[in-house]
Structure 1
C-alpha cells in the first residue's frame, strides 16, 4: 500500500474555509515523491504496517491506566496536600501523554486503518478538556499545511501576548517575553478548558482564520466532551472536597499538562533553526514545494533519547511527523534515517537540535531576539546545532 500523503485526501490539505481560497505551494515535487517511495520501501523491508501497531495499543493501555489510577487516587483517596500534590502532577503528565500519543495519532488517522478506531482515540482529547473537532482545524489543517506562516498557522498566534514570528507586529512588552511566556505556557490547557474552545465556537474563527462550526454529530461530541470533562474536573471532586481545594489541584494538574504540551510544540517550530517564510508577491502562493516548506520550518530534537521519544509520542521526530502525518509515531525513529539520508542526497537541510536542553535554549534565544526592537522582519534560520 503506498504511503499516505497530505495531498491524497488527508484533511490537512483541505481548504481552510469555504469563505477563502487556500494558500498554495509551488515547485517540483520530485523530492517528496522519491522520499515517499523510500520510506514505503523501508517499512515493507522491516515488515511494519503504517498503522495498527501492537506497541501503540500497549502504550495506550499504559497511559490510560496511569490516567485512571492517578485520577481515582486524587479524587477518592487523597486527604492531605502531600498526597494530592504528586498525584496532581502525575495526572497532568498523563493528560499530556494522552495528547502527545493517543489523541495525536488518532487525530491524524495514524493510529489505525479503521476509521472508527481513529475517531475513538481522537476524542480522548475531549475527555481531558480539549476539542478534537477544533484541533483538526487548528492543528491538522492550519498548522500542518502552512507551518510558521504568520496569519495562516494559528499555532504560532498568541495574539498580543507574544511574538513568535518575525512577521508578527512587535509590542513594547515583548521585550520581556523570553521571561514571562514560560509561566504563561502553563495557562495553555486552562485557556482551552474555560475560554478558548467556547470563544472559537461562538466567533467561528481560530486566531485570524475562519472555520466551519461543528454541526450534527460533531456538535454532539463537542457538547458531550465538555460535559464529561467538567464532570471529571469539577463535578465529582466537589462531592468529596471543598471548592478551594478542587480549584487549587485543578490548576496544578492543568498547568503541568499545559507547560508540557506547549514546550514540545514550541521546540519543533519556534526555534532559531526554523524558517518563517511568507507568501510570494501575489500573497496566494508559497515559493517552495510543500515538502520543502515542512523541512525548512520544522526541527527535530533529542532524536537519540528513547525515553523522551516514548513520552512525547515521537514528536521529537517532528520532521518525520510533518512529512508523514498518517504513519504511526512508533515508526518515526526507523524512518528518520531514510529521511535524513534522502535530504542530504538532494542537498536539502535536515534541521535538528541534538538534545532537549539545546531545543529549550534555542527557543529561549529566539523569543529574546523577536522581542528586541532591533529585529527586522526577516526570517533567516541559523545553522542547526
Structure 2
C-alpha cells in the first residue's frame, strides 16, 4: 500500500470514529470486581464510623480556603500599593482560586461534599464565582470524562484539537514533535480559555468536544449568565475603579496563569502519563473491559505519601480512588486507597501510582514526547498486576 493510500485509510478510520461518538458507549458487563471493591469500601466506613460526606473536616477546610480567597482579593483590590505587593497577592489569589476548584467545587459537583443536594448545588456554584461554569463542568467532567476516561472522541478532556496529541488514536501534526516543550506554557492559559472562550462556545454550539449536551435553560441558564457577570465584575470591573487597565490585566493574568497551571497539571498527571492506557472501542459502541477496570487502566495516582499535596489538590493525587468512588468526599481517599490497592492486587488488576509529583511530571513529559514522534503507534493494552514508580 502506498503512503498516500495509508493516509487515506487512516483519515477514513478517524472520521468513522468521530461519527461514532454520537452513540453511547457500553462497557463489558462483568462487574464482580467492582461489587467486591464497593463492599469492602462500605465495610471500611461502617467499621470506622465515619460518614462518606458532610464531615467536619471538609467544612473547616472550605472555610479556610474561602477566607483566604476573600482576604487575598480584598488586599489585592483595595490595599496593594506597589507592583511587588500586587504580584505576591495575585499569586496567593491564584492558588486560592485553584483550591476552590480542587477542594470545594469538585467534591460538590460530584455530590461528594454533602448529603444535602442544595448544599452541593451551592458549593458547586463556587466555580461560577471564579469564572467557570458549574453547568458545563457537570457535563464535560462529571459525565463525559468520568464515564469515558481517555477514550478519544468521548473524553473531551484529552482533546485539545491540533494543539496537542495525547492519545495514539488522535491525528499527529508536524508541530506535535515539539509538544513536550511548548505545551507547558499553554497549560497556564487553561483558565483564560475557560473565562473568555470555552464555556461560551460550548453553550452556544451545544457541544463539548465531539459530544452534544443539552444547553442550559431556566435556572441553569440564569446561573450561567449571572455567574459570568459576577466574575467579570470582580475580576475586571471593580478593580478598574481603583487601578489602571494595565495593572488590572497584569494581575488578572498572574492569577489566571497560576490557577491554570495547577488545574492542568493535576489532570495531566492523572491521565496523560505513560502508565495510563488510551483504549479504543473493541467494536462500534462497545468496550471489552468492565467500567471499573477501565478506570484503573486509564488513571494514575501520584504523591500518595505527601499530606501537603493531598491537602492542596483536594485529594486528586488519589485519582484512582476518585474515579472509582466519585461520590465519596476527598478527605477519605488516603484511607480507602489501602483498601483499593489491596483489592487490586488480589484480583490482579492494575493500580498505577507515581511516587512523587516530580515522577508524575517526568512521566507526562515522556508521554508527550512519545506521542509527538512520527513513529508513535497505538500502544497495545496490557493488564499488569501493579505498575508503581
Could you say which residue in structure 2 is the equivalent of 1:323?
Answer: 324
1:42 maps to 2:11: no
For the residue of structure 2 that corresponds to 1:25, the secondary structure is: strand
Q: How does 1:341-352 map to 2 (within 5 A)?
A: 341-352=342-353
1:161 maps to 2:159: no
Q: Are the equivalent residues in 2 in contact too, given 1:276–1:379 (CA < 8 A)?
A: no
1:173 maps to 2:163: no
Deviation at 1:58, TM superposition (A): 0.1
- Deviation string 1:294-332 (CA, Å, 9 cap, x unpaired) is 000000111000110000000000000000000000000
For the residue of structure 1 that corresponds to 2:59, the secondary structure is: helix
Could you say which residue in structure 2 is the equivalent of 1:246?
Answer: 248
Deviation at 1:55, TM superposition (A): 0.2
Q: Are the equivalent residues in 2 in contact too, given 1:148–1:275 (CA < 8 A)?
A: yes
Could you say which residue in structure 2 is the equivalent of 1:287?
Answer: 288
Could you say which residue in structure 1 is the equivalent of 2:225?
Answer: 223
Aligned equivalents of 2:23, 2:361: Cα separation in 1: 36
1:121 maps to 2:159: no
1:21 to 10, 16, 23: 23
Q: How does 1:79-90 map to 2 (within 5 A)?
A: 79-90=81-92
For the residue of structure 2 that corresponds to 1:21, the secondary structure is: coil
Q: Are the equivalent residues in 2 in contact too, given 1:167–1:378 (CA < 8 A)?
A: no
1:300 maps to 2:301: yes
Aligned equivalents of 1:145, 1:129: Cα separation in 2: 25
- Deviation string 1:97-133 (CA, Å, 9 cap, x unpaired) is 0000000000000000000000000000000000000
Could you say which residue in structure 1 is the equivalent of 2:138?
Answer: 136
Deviation at 1:208, TM superposition (A): 1.2
Query: TM-score with structure 2 length normalisation?
Result: 0.93
Which sections of structure 1, spanning at least 5 residues, go unmatched?
1-18
Q: How does 1:187-198 map to 2 (within 5 A)?
A: 187-198=189-200
Could you say which residue in structure 2 is the equivalent of 1:270?
Answer: 272
Could you say which residue in structure 2 is the equivalent of 1:360?
Answer: 361
1:209 maps to 2:204: no
Deviation at 1:380, TM superposition (A): 4.5
Q: How does 1:309-320 map to 2 (within 5 A)?
A: 309-320=310-321
Deviation at 1:22, TM superposition (A): 1.4
Could you say which residue in structure 2 is the equivalent of 1:67?
Answer: 69
Could you say which residue in structure 2 is the equivalent of 1:384?
Answer: 388
Could you say which residue in structure 1 is the equivalent of 2:99?
Answer: 97
- Deviation string 1:130-168 (CA, Å, 9 cap, x unpaired) is 000000000001100000000000010101000011111
Aligned equivalents of 2:203, 2:38: Cα separation in 1: 37
- Deviation string 1:63-96 (CA, Å, 9 cap, x unpaired) is 0000000000000000110100010000000000
For the residue of structure 2 that corresponds to 1:319, the secondary structure is: helix
Could you say which residue in structure 2 is the equivalent of 1:3?
Answer: none
Moved over 3 A (4+): 379-384
Q: Are the equivalent residues in 2 in contact too, given 1:99–1:125 (CA < 8 A)?
A: yes
Q: Are the equivalent residues in 1 in contact too, given 2:22–2:211 (CA < 8 A)?
A: no
Q: Are the equivalent residues in 2 in contact too, given 1:166–1:379 (CA < 8 A)?
A: no
For the residue of structure 2 that corresponds to 1:309, the secondary structure is: helix
The CA RMSD measured in Å over matched residues stands at 1.1
